[in-house]
A = this chain, B = another copy of it.
Amino acid sequence: MTNWTTSTNMRLRLPLLCIILEVILIILFGALVEYNDDTHAKLWNANKSHSATRDDYENEFYYRYPSFQDVHVMIFVGFGFLMTFLQRYGFSSVGFNFLIAAFSLQWATLMQGFFHGMHHGKIHVGVTSMINADFCTGSVLISFGAVLGKTSPVQLLVMAIFEVTLFAVNEFILLSMLGANDAGGSMTIHTFGAYFGLMVTRVLYRPNLDKSKHRNSSVYHSDLFAMIGTIYLWMFWPSFNSAITNYGDPQHRTALNTYYSLAACTLATFAFSALVNPEGKLDMVHIQNAALAGGVAVGTAGEMMLTPFGSMIVGFLAGTISVLGYKYLTPVLESKLKIQDTCGIHNLHGMPGVLGAVVGAVTSALASPGVYGDGLQRVFADAETGKWNPQSRGGFQAISLAVTLGMALFGGLVTGFILKLPIYGAPPDTHCFEDGLYWEVPGEEEGHELNEVATPNEMEKLNS
């Protein structure tokens, strides 16, 4: 007989939840979702002028899809492999990342469409909605990093349902109501995802987690797998921050700023990683994570005239606070505030996200027609309306950060308590960070010595 409160068996729970969710998604997509003008056979061809070929080249597909694919790689390879650093949790890291991302991007399409994309009662989809859905998914995966190893896939899906919904609400308030700039999501994605996840893991606090302590660390090969995630995130971050800016100079400039910020961040990361170690040895945890903080920290200001100079200063600061956070703040958060943050998302997404929001507010407040010329309204939409006021713009950016923090902490609190119900098959304290609970796990190979599979004699005969 199944004891629902202690069993971790997923045989009914996971299939039921997946199938119900997907059926609901399919029904809602059938009722609400339509191709937009650039994907619809009738609408696209009706809108075209006569010069067919020229016009087809102007489909937004050609100007957004390469960015989308880079973002897609970050979501599935970047986040997925970054979390494989745990020695016995590689299947779950990549696999659950895959599952909740595949769910979240569908749910996000509906939620974001509902809050800010309805056209005559229908949600219009195309490559831009694909990018936005991936962005929202990124936020869920950030939160996943905080609870990594301590949650069942059912819990993660339930978390995604709530987080995606709240993400869409927060994004609507910031972008549509407050008119905030946040193309690369320092606030909407990173700050929101980080503090949401930190609050969830706080509510799910496990006083006896040290029973699984021996598995809560890396091994040599798992650190190399994690570096695959790191490097892909690092390389494609310029595409991430620039994916949904306006066309032309803003997109180009965002990619460039992010590139310089990350490069400076990487040097800061190596410097401080060696500095905080008594023997001057580099720590893989810092390299894997802190080197990315530079991308987070220019997520708001990246499209502005931050200059390469400014970007590098921001990146250098982000890398520095991130390493110091890993070294000095994370242990305190755990011991004093009972926040068990498996991947250290507070150091990679939380603090750098807040830094990015502040940099964005300051850069907004300093913007002027003298610097931006006719390009001002391409970056700050309200400059077009004539109500342009840099200082109030900076103020609205600051308010946006406060709203995001509030929404994230409140949402994480509620979601945390929902996830605390003993019905989701969460792992016991003794079996956290362990694939074997939810996966068929093969053994380790016994070695590749040739004489295991053929004696030298046999092999000689075969090769003669």
What is the interface of chain A mostly: helix, strand, loop, or mixed? helix
What 1/0 flags go to A71-97 for Cβ under 8 Å of B? 011001100110010011011001100
CB-defined A-B contacts under 8 Å, sample of 17:
A6-B462, A10-B280, A19-B267, A30-B307, A39-B252, A39-B253, A40-B305, A41-B379, A44-B248, A46-B373, A57-B63, A66-B69, A76-B234, A102-B267, A130-B256, A222-B445, A283-B439
A21 to B268, CA, bound (A): 10
- Residues of B near A313 (CB, < 8 A) are 26
Choose from B58, B94, B462 the contact partner of A431 (Cβ within 8 Å).
B462
Q: Quote the shortest CB–CB distance from A161 to chain B (angstroms).
A: 13
Q: Is the CB of B12 within 8 A of A251?
A: no
Q: Is the CB of A42 within 8 A of B375?
A: yes
Which residue, A22, A38, A219, A449, has most C-beta atoms of chain B within 10 A?
A22
- Residues of B near A259 (CB, < 8 A) are 105, 130
Q: Quote the shortest CB–CB distance from A171 to chain B (angstroms).
A: 20
What 1/0 flags go to A424-441 for Cβ under 8 Å of B? 000010110011111111
A29 part of interface (Cβ distance < 8 Å): yes
- Residues of B near A2 (CB, < 8 A) are 464
A272 part of interface (Cβ distance < 8 Å): yes
Q: Is the CB of B374 within 8 A of A45?
A: yes
Q: Which of A17-62 contact B (CB under 8 A)?
A: 18-19, 21-22, 25-26, 29-30, 33-35, 38-46, 48, 53-62
One of A174-182, A223-231, A325-333, A402-410 contacting the partner: A223-231
Q: Is the CB of B267 within 8 A of A22?
A: yes
Choose from B15, B220, B373, B463 the contact partner of A444 (Cβ within 8 Å).
B220
Q: Is the CB of A308 within 8 A of B125?
A: yes
A172 part of interface (Cβ distance < 8 Å): no
Choose from B106, B255, B264 the contact partner of A260 (Cβ within 8 Å).
B106
Residue of B nearest to A104 (CB): B263
Choose from B102, B248, B282 the contact partner of A439 (Cβ within 8 Å).
B282
Q: Is the CB of B126 within 8 A of A252?
A: yes
Q: Is the CB of A280 within 8 A of B14?
A: yes
Q: Is the CB of B63 within 8 A of A29?
A: no
Q: Is the CB of B224 within 8 A of A225?
A: yes
A270 part of interface (Cβ distance < 8 Å): yes
10 nearest A-B pairs in the assembled complex, by CB-CB distance: A11-B280, A41-B375, A42-B373, A56-B248, A102-B266, A18-B271, A44-B249, A10-B280, A45-B374, A30-B309
A247 part of interface (Cβ distance < 8 Å): yes
A116 part of interface (Cβ distance < 8 Å): no
Choose from B38, B77, B374 the contact partner of A231 (Cβ within 8 Å).
B77
Q: Is the CB of B72 within 8 A of A8?
A: no
A103 part of interface (Cβ distance < 8 Å): yes
A127 to B255, CA, bound (A): 8
A293 part of interface (Cβ distance < 8 Å): no
- Residues of B near A264 (CB, < 8 A) are 22, 25-26, 106
